[in-house]
Structure 1
């Protein structure tokens, strides 16, 4: 890269206050990769950070869900993390966190819980290599940061969403297990919920979604959900639980998946699941937001609760393969319903927060 080339990035200095900054683009160190951003999506987690609700990230360079094009390879980088040859110009999807392999969780094989996962994420922009987030013209993939070559022919707009929601959903649902002919109730039909519906479908499960927004219900049907419990029609927890039980021969769902990000959804989920069932908690990510629930009911029903944050990084490869294998089967390409120039990031976040758009993507120019 010619000396003196500069790039832009989006810096969150405090909640809901963004600044465009410009910095010199660094050369990658050994084991690192310098990329140019093709597109970066506005993820729900980004909205949590923007509002100031994230438990760890309060400021820094924004962005983590993205598709990148290799600009320069650091010394020693010849393949992606699956051994696929990599060269300048290739499209790649990076995990947005690192896996240090040295901290206590990593030593226990719990790589998704790496204590150093965010060591290089959302840092101050003045700290080299500056491009710590994907709301930018460039992105720096560090050593120990997994990345994978995007399958040829896969729509870039589809591939851009693999490194966050889909990878985490597949990882989480593998943790709890999804069996053929089981019933899965999904709370929320946003990006996480739609991924859960698609993956459950491919595992041979019957799916139920609990949602109350017309556009999201329509999208859930496009993703092949079998049943909809509209909370505008079934207005109480008791009514929704009765409806789910009716749909499952009076038993309750084998698996519940919380994707709504609403604390009260957790306490409700316990009501929807059969005795001895499983419950996957992914949507609620902000500590301090609480809900009341009945621990005695939990004990009596003996439900297994599995909370999941992030994913083992090789699940990103599985997510890309899932998208490639099901190309055209699910309308992933329609999930991005608004494109914004990078300089219009304020508008993209505001319209995403108000749900004026379902999924926004930022395009650097």
Structure 2
């Protein structure tokens, strides 16, 4: 072990983070102890921090991370793809578990595992303390998938692999996006930019609906084919007509909602052709509603596919995708601010105020 104690960011109350210190545990058989190299601030952290997440609160924050193995439990010889693992290796763990024993795992629906967040929910006083990645250390449980990170992926890019990139990769496979199709992406945040990259690599034509200059400029650097600026096309009808113009009068083959705005979901069918597929990822907070015309989905035969998390082996696919395309897309640009762990509260406040696009925590030992 490199340290006998470590620190973590504990959400003790709504919008109030406390840095706590705990002993670094020894790993159980099948588990790993790691040092956190870099952890990113995802939109989910902001939901938790503000007290609007439906499940998570009063917890160790953080789930996107790149970790370095410091202690290997008995029986651990490889990652979940069979790659040999030893101390010093860089890994990306899934932020949830697929227990393999619940009803949903038994049906092969691993992303819906009943125990997916069981460890993240635990209070830091409970062993092994380091339940989240906003910390100097992170504990990888025996049933938690993890994969060795290819050497050519930069730290900040690798840290985001287990959420944004892998989520849209899984989702676009779920709706069967294929070569030559047109996909409209609602929202140009981190998920949206990654969706552009994946859609490009699949040979699809991409349309982004967005109204923030910085996000539009970044989308162009990611190779988006068309942008529908909602400041210019300022009604649902106008945006629908513009997408139709770009798609031979039909509408897009596939829609992707990653804006996280209920009204965006209601707008979806206006942007899509008859028989289209619609991927819903962004709206994850219950209780926020929109006025929806369900007949638009019915009469246009639109298939709606929601995805919450992903099948855990998709993280390996995500890392492979990044390794192949890391020189092609400016993934590094999605992270624009770096903070020490002790400044977690500031990182969250500035992220929530949109003063920065995407914050990253780089824990330092003191």
TM bucket, shorter chain: over 0.9
Unpaired runs of 5+ residues, structure 2, are none
Q: Is 1:283 matched up with 2:282? A: yes
Distance (whole Å) between structure 2 residues aligned to residue 212 and residue 122 of structure 1: 36
- CA distance, structure 2, for counterparts of residue 56 and residue 70 of structure 1: 29
User: What residue is the counterpart of 2:261 in the other structure?
Assistant: 262
Q: 1:209 matched to which residue of 2? A: 208
Corresponding position of 1:160: 159
Q: 2:222, 2:186 → 1: CA distance?
A: 15
Name the structure 2 match of 1:174. 173
| Residue of structure 1 equivalent to 2:24 | 25
What does residue 187 of structure 1 align with? 186
Q: Is contact 1:10–1:61 with CA below 8 Å preserved after alignment?
A: yes
* RMSD of aligned residue pairs (Cα, Å): 0.9
The equivalent of 1:237 in structure 2 is 236
Matched, 1:10 2:9: yes
Give the C-alpha shift of residue 122 in structure 1.
Answer: 3.6
Residues 186 and 209, structure 1, Cα contact 8 Å, conserved in 2: yes
TM-superposed CA distance for 1:14, in Å, is: 1.8
Q: Is the 8 A contact 1:261 1:283 kept in 2?
A: yes
Could you tell me the TM-score, scaled by structure 2's length? 0.98
| Deviation, structure 1 residue 153 | 2.3
- The aligned counterpart of 1:356 is 355
> 1:346 corresponds to which residue?
345
Task: Find the counterpart in structure 2 of residue 303 from structure 1.
Answer: 302
Divergent runs of 4+, >6 A:
none
- Alpha carbons 1:165, 1:192 under 8 Å: kept: yes
- Provide, for residues 136-186 of structure 1, a one-character-per-residue CA deviation record: whole Å limited to 9, x for no partner: 000000010000000122211211110111111111110001111100000
- The number of residue pairs the alignment matches comes to 364
TM-score (norm 1): 0.98
Q: Does the residue aligned with 1:209 lie in a helix, a strand or coil?
A: strand
Moved more, 98-107 or 314-323: 98-107
Residue 89 of structure 1 deviates from its aligned partner by 0.4
The residue number in structure 2 matching 1:197 is 196
Whole-angstrom CA distance in 1 between matches of 2:107 and 2:340 = 43
Q: State the shift of 1:334 in Å.
A: 1.5
Distance 2:338 2:248 in 1: 44
State the 1:123 CA deviation: 1.8
Partner of 2:43: 44
- The alignment partner of 1:37 has SS state of strand
Q: Distance in 1 between matches of 2:121 and 2:102?
A: 21
